[in-house]
Structure 1
Amino acid sequence: MRTLNKLTTVILLLAAISSKSIAQQKTMQAVDYVDPNIGGSGIVLQPTRPLVHLPNSMMRVFPMKQDQLDDQIMFFPLCVVSHRIEYAFSFLPLKGVPDNTAWGKRFTVLEETTTPYFYSAEDEETGITVGLTASSKSAIFEVDFKNPNNNYFRIGLNGGNGNVEQTGKHSFAGTEEVTGLKTYFYAETDEDIAQVNYQGTDKKRLLAKFNAVKVKFKYGFSYISIEQAKANLYKEIPAWDFDSVKRSAKTIWNNKLGQITIKGGTLGQKRTFYASLYRTYERMVDINEYGQYFSAYDQKVHQSKEPFFVDNWIWDMYIAAEPLHTILDPRKEQQKISSYIEMYKQGGWMPAFALATGDWPAMTGNHAASWMADAWAKGIRGFDVKTAYEGLKKNSLEGTLLPWRNGPATAIDSFYNTHGYLYSTRPEERGSKDGVEMDKWWEGRGNEGVSITLEWSICDWAIAQLAKPAGYAQDKPLFLKRAGWYGNVYNAEEGFVWPKDKNGNWIKPYNTKLLGREYVTENNSYTYNWTPKHDLTGLFAKMGGKEKAEAKLDQLFREDLGLPKFHFWLNQPDASGMVGQFVMGNEPSYHIPYLYNYLGAPWKTQKRIRMLIDTWFPDNVFGIPGDEDGGGTTGFVVLSMMGFFPVTPGVPVYTIGSPSFGEASVKLPSGKTFTVKAINNSKNNVYIQKAMLNGKVLDKPWFTHTDLLKGGTLTLTMGDRPNKAWSSKAGSAPPSGIDIDPEVYR
């Protein structure tokens, strides 16, 4: 009896705890679910950072540590210039004797709070607490030193040329060059600066002493001048009300994240979802400073009332992040695209990675074309499609295709335009070739010829779709022809994309699993086999038909690495989150689990997607399996957890996966709402038994962008065993082929 009473007590206690948890969730707002620490320890490569910022805003700040497992803050950059790679200035509050050791001192975290709109930490050695919140081009710190002894701020550069200095009894200013771009800040404190000591005579770093116990530090940031930085500060944070700035930032974030509401699922899934949605707003960022902006693309200040967006790694972003925001904020997408077009007009080439510091021609492809064609197909207008087309066409026909460079075509590019593939170099041929130094970035490696041929085929198909609306209908056959060139690097005998030399011979020996970047970008042929998403019909035919393609896709998820993991990652550090040879941690893979929908086996897409999301995206510091790239990966997570995904850029349809929630609703800018309901959804009920779109039976695994824009409800009835008959009939597959007309699917 006593045992029974104890058991009853435990059950009641657990029930009470569960009820309390449910009650707490009911009062939580969207922003409350966001944990910026998710993914904060990179499994192989870069961690995420707990950025404090407003959505798509210039001001981005975080505590600089090795990762979120590190307990020491080196400094706070006053602004992130380019996501993950470039930072301007440094700031850190410290306590102690201001001797030579102060210049290398760190803030050791005892406890910290991380949110999108606010960060705080306590130093375990001194008890100092620091809080941070931000507006769009300015930020404010509040520091509690606990007592008036030996309190100081360390302010300095972050490695570039420039200087920082005290400019008044309560003010500082500075300039720093970041990859050729001048950055500026102007800062004020609410307490007197008692003393300033500079490190050396060049004024690159200073220690500012304060006798006050509590000191606030607010500053404006600019790419134009110190005067403009000051104006930005006064416009955004004129007073010293830290809590007001914080409340405003929280409201902005909650409104933005609350555009998507979810029901059902676990607390962990909600945390993963909203943290991922938050990540998709890290870039692009608007650097128009209240009527003017500095462009690194022509080194001029421009007067403009329109936003000027920079910081887009388009190779990563065109796949999921930009399509997600095409749904959420088409007006902003139009402004981002217009910014790209302005960069082309200013600099002469359509950017690859459009940073604040100028174009960083990283990675492969001309994927601004993929992005713009997709936006156009989904009804986004208001950008200069004629000029956009001309820039994209110039990049394709007159520019270099080689990674990590920009500008006119080389002899190697001329070969591509003549022969329809980019030839690869054998190991003994590496280095200078045809007068082109191909190994400038990846010394001793090749020219990534396989990936370039595959990805430029996608981009040329996208350009073809823009030819007619731009007024160049006569160009469309040329670009459709080029869209088929991916087949020139498909080795039908081996069943893989394969490097081909200048004479048209397949390079052997060749390991389809183990690559650096000799022939394929950041992955191997197992991943790049599935790249031609603009012509899946043609690709499956090359693989011997749908049945053989499905078997090959099955094997992708089952194939072993062929060697120990540490050897594999030594050569392919980007290939993380492995399931067989499938790479969850890198963007070229993200459409692949959805390809079963094109092969008559949608249930396998449902199986794979739920397993991948549940396995690789938990709500902890290991919750992102690869480089996040400012929305590149988390865009995939948001869309997949809602239950659908865009596979072919430029074809306005979404293919259906397996939702993580019982219900996900998107509030569209039109005022309408699109909802995905998953009846009986659970951890085990991952398979679609039947589907209805606005009350009508849906027996195909896709719907159109127009269906989404009309609003309404996609209802999926879920079960724990696959319904292999659902959407498996011939003709049910989503459209994908070189000759299809995207207009048919609008």
Structure 2
Amino acid sequence: MKRNSLLLLQLILIISLFTSCKSDDKPIIKEKPINNVDPFIGTGGIVHTFPGATIPFSMIQLSPDTDTKGWNWCSGYHYSDSTLKGFSHTHLSGTGWSDLGDILVMPTVGELQVTAGEKDKPDTGWRSRFSHETEKAEAGFYKVYLEDYNVTAELTAGKRVGFHKYVFPETEKANIIFDPTNIIFGKVLETKIETTSATEISGYCLSEGWGGKRYVYFSAEFSKPYDSFKITKAGNFSKHLKVIDKDVKGFATFRTRAGESIEVKVGISAVSANSALMNLRSEKDNSFALAQLNAQNEWNGILSKFKVEGGTKEQRRIFYTGVYHNFIAPNLSMDIDGKYVALGRQFKAEGFTNYSSFSTWDTFRATKPLISFLTPQYSQDFSKSLIARHKDAGEHLPLWELCGVDNTCMIGYPSVPVIYDAIQKGADINKKEAFAAMDDIAHFNKVSSSDGDGGLDEYIKLGYVPAHIPKNISKTLEYAYEDWVIAQLAKEIGDIKKYDYYMKRANNFRNIYNPERKMFWPKKANGEWFADIVMDQWEPLQDHWISGNKWAYDYFVPHAVSDLIELKGGKEAFAAELDHLFRVELDMKGEEHADISGFVGSYAHGDEPGHANPYLYNYVGEAWKTQAMVRKLMAEMYSDKPDGMINNEDCGQMSAWYIFSAMGFYPVCPGDKKYIIGSPIFDRVSMDLGNGRTFIVVAKNNSNKNKYVQSLSLNGKEITKSYITQDQISEGGILTFEMGPKPNKAFGAKEGDLPVSTLQ
């Protein structure tokens, strides 16, 4: 009887491992969301992500560095490499520029070597060969076998502490190297290392780079006392146990048994050495195993906000890894006592948690709206951090803030829609303080580190950025959209005078629309149109458009799409233009900008300003064309391989486009509360909102062929419109798609069912 009961129990357990069978009758093992995350996605190609350990929005991104120079190594790691120099504690995720790589740690065995050596000649230094076959990466955990030393390295992360575990062979010379001179792309100005006991060392690096001139202090603790400790100064061993110089490194040596592990905890701070120690002590009681468990629990909490059914394993991996990438940046930029550094000065956060690493130009489009839905508390803190630069520091909202410094990369004032999106989704933010910060930046001309003079003074005076200023078309269009956002907040706080003022500025896109050319065109300061431009060469286009991407910006009026349609001759003419955009390939000469990639016709999915363009068919009653195009882009521009995106991941934006699109809707205009309908790829997606409600998307009869929406309903009530609203999503409920193999050209085609976006 016991045996029969045991057999029955085993049968039940086996059955419980499986979910529904697909058409090929092969059962699919039920997966946990975290098992679908692959941090190696994006570490190849030009995607620029890193595979190491972090937790959501942590100060720590503990990851291997294979190189620190060159565009492929913006994150410090590239999948094509086979040697590494160590594991540093801070990294950028998917950006097109580089910095960080702070405080590198490397385990070795044998005689000490004082430099890392050359990547292709690892025997010239302490570098080690490694193989991807013995490398493992999960959300919150990284592991690799170092072939040159017979050492297994494991990494995990807390909020402010990096946790290392090194498993050594039997040796008299097990070394753990600390290299504060390691920096990705930047310039080292000064370093320091000292030891105060056989289990503790500390130091700092003062560097200058994309994140400005900054200190990173560290405090480290070993799980066992070292037998000896040495410090080098400019490559020579010193007699001192406290050394300050431009080139300082520390070497702790231990005796180890075969298979013995040494754990190292490293706390960091931008404020002071004492703060780094305080941060370390705040997580000191965590063993490596507990820290790993905590990290993976943190990720489970985020990833489990989505429950996905259907689709392929590859699609689920892309989706969940995309969620993972969206919760890496911004990064915690505040010590345990609330102190932080911004703009080279110390502050203390009151009533919020301070963050930095704001790639707002990329992420205002979809990443921040996604985070605001899922975790409004984070969006609230992000917004308060940005507002604090004006309110507390007396400065201006940043364009691209790294380590508390605005590196002024890109254009416009993209912090504005990030803050307003959080406000719209219920964040507890002082609206008048937010408006004051927005009003300030909308009158302060910043010179972009990537794109020159902002032209804001001329924009205010003339109503457009004139042709002699770099990227004038792109700047005019982005200013106009962001002015519309500011106008909405002015209206909410009851400042009608400011509302009217900014709504007038929001119409400035009209001033550069050339009706004869039927496109946005550079205009001189005297009001004359600019001369002809050679349109089949990249270089002349880059004078007027970001990356030279005219084909993205010719449709970038997200706040007034309906007005743009009228400017271009009406719905039929606009639809024909979109058809041309996605069908006719470019034949360009000259060097293509690195950010323009992933072409479908003239549309480049690798460049963020065009991300809404596939959804614009909905505005002219041809929603079925959007449905076909977004399915094509999801299939062709993404994979679960190391080069799994077509360009820089950009702190989440490339993935956020996929996440929204996979659910069947997208925020074309953050700030107007409309989410435009596309074509979902999963049978069912449940999204746990941060307000206690759940929004569920069901796609019936869904498949690769059945990509067209036949009908749509919300909580059983038919929706004929080709969009849903933020309020409908936030209320929770079930959005049901009926899918089919042929277009339903009547869906969303009636005049009252189109999304309307007008300033008229």
Deviation (angstroms), 1:340: 0.8
Shift in CA distance, 676/19, structure 1 to aligned 2, threshold 3 Å: closer
- TM-score of the superposition, structure 2-length normalised? 0.87
In 2, distance between residues paired with 1:648 and 1:101? 50
Once the two structures are superposed, the pairs formed by residues 402-417 of structure 1 within 5 Å of their partners are: 402-404=447-449, 412-417=455-460
Contact 1:257 1:274 in 2 (8 A): yes
1:186 aligns with 2:216: no
Write the deviation string for residues 198-248 of structure 1: whole angstroms up to 9, x where unpaired.
233636112222222432111111122222222222221325x21111111
1:60 aligns with 2:83: no
1:169 aligns with 2:170: no
Residue 105 of structure 2 corresponds to which residue in structure 1? Answer: 91
In 2, distance between residues paired with 1:309 and 1:101? 34
Contact 1:609 1:640 in 2 (8 A): yes
The one-letter code of the counterpart of 1:97 is E
Residue 428 of structure 1 corresponds to which residue in structure 2? Answer: none
Shift in CA distance, 115/22, structure 1 to aligned 2, threshold 3 Å: farther
Contact 1:701 1:734 in 2 (8 A): yes
Q: Secondary structure at the match of 1:551?
A: helix
In 2, distance between residues paired with 1:57 and 1:350? 22
The match for 2:414 among 363, 367, 373 is: 367
Shift in CA distance, 471/298, structure 1 to aligned 2, threshold 3 Å: farther
Once the two structures are superposed, the pairs formed by residues 643-662 of structure 1 within 5 Å of their partners are: 643-662=664-683
Deviation (angstroms), 1:21: 11
In 2, distance between residues paired with 1:404 and 1:644? 34
Deviation (angstroms), 1:404: 2.7
The one-letter code of the counterpart of 2:178 is I
Write the deviation string for residues 382-434 of structure 1: whole angstroms up to 9, x where unpaired.
2121121122112112x115423999x99x54322221111122xxxxxxxxx
Shift in CA distance, 602/375, structure 1 to aligned 2, threshold 3 Å: same
Question: Greater shift after overlay, 150-159 or 360-369?
Answer: 150-159
Question: Greater shift after overlay, 412-421 or 655-664?
Answer: 412-421
Shift in CA distance, 101/344, structure 1 to aligned 2, threshold 3 Å: closer
The one-letter code of the counterpart of 1:92 is M
Shift in CA distance, 530/126, structure 1 to aligned 2, threshold 3 Å: same
Once the two structures are superposed, the pairs formed by residues 172-321 of structure 1 within 5 Å of their partners are: 172-178=201-207, 179-197=212-230, 198=232, 199-200=235-236, 202=245, 204-213=248-257, 214-239=261-286, 241-297=287-343, 299-302=345-348, 304=350, 306-321=352-367
- TM-score of the superposition, structure 1-length normalised? 0.89
Residue 535 of structure 1 corresponds to which residue in structure 2? Answer: 560
The one-letter code of the counterpart of 1:173 is S
Shift in CA distance, 280/21, structure 1 to aligned 2, threshold 3 Å: farther
Once the two structures are superposed, the pairs formed by residues 663-702 of structure 1 within 5 Å of their partners are: 663-702=684-723
Question: Greater shift after overlay, 338-347 or 91-100?
Answer: 91-100
Shift in CA distance, 24/71, structure 1 to aligned 2, threshold 3 Å: farther
State the aligned residue count.
Answer: 693
**Percent of residue pairs bearing the same amino acid type:** 30
In 2, distance between residues paired with 1:64 and 1:19? 44
1:25 aligns with 2:70: no
The match for 1:464 among 487, 499, 503 is: 487
Shift in CA distance, 149/492, structure 1 to aligned 2, threshold 3 Å: farther
Q: Secondary structure at the match of 1:631?
A: helix
Deviation (angstroms), 1:49: 1.1
Contact 2:352 2:384 in 1 (8 A): no
Deviation (angstroms), 1:513: 5.1
Deviation (angstroms), 1:604: 0.5
Q: What are the ranges of 5 or more consecutive residues in structure 1 without an aligned counterpart?
A: 1-16, 426-445, 740-746
Deviation (angstroms), 1:173: 0.6
Deviation (angstroms), 1:101: 6.0
Write the deviation string for residues 234-271 of structure 1: whole angstroms up to 9, x where unpaired.
221325x2111111111111121000111000111000
In 2, distance between residues paired with 1:555 and 1:625? 22
Write the deviation string for residues 130-155 of structure 1: whole angstroms up to 9, x where unpaired.
00011110021111122214321221
In 2, distance between residues paired with 1:357 and 1:101? 31
Residue 397 of structure 2 corresponds to which residue in structure 1? Answer: 350
Q: What are the ranges of 5 or more consecutive residues in structure 2 without an aligned counterpart?
A: 1-20, 67-76, 118-124, 239-244
Residue 380 of structure 1 corresponds to which residue in structure 2? Answer: 426
Question: Greater shift after overlay, 581-590 or 272-281?
Answer: 581-590
Q: Secondary structure at the match of 1:80?
A: coil
The one-letter code of the counterpart of 1:85 is D
The one-letter code of the counterpart of 1:181 is R
Residue 635 of structure 2 corresponds to which residue in structure 1? Answer: 614
Residue 447 of structure 1 corresponds to which residue in structure 2? Answer: 470
Write the deviation string for residues 618-667 of structure 1: whole angstroms up to 9, x where unpaired.
11112111111111211111111111111112101211111110001111
Once the two structures are superposed, the pairs formed by residues 380-529 of structure 1 within 5 Å of their partners are: 380-397=426-443, 399-400=444-445, 402-404=447-449, 412-425=455-468, 447-512=470-535, 514-516=537-539, 517-529=542-554
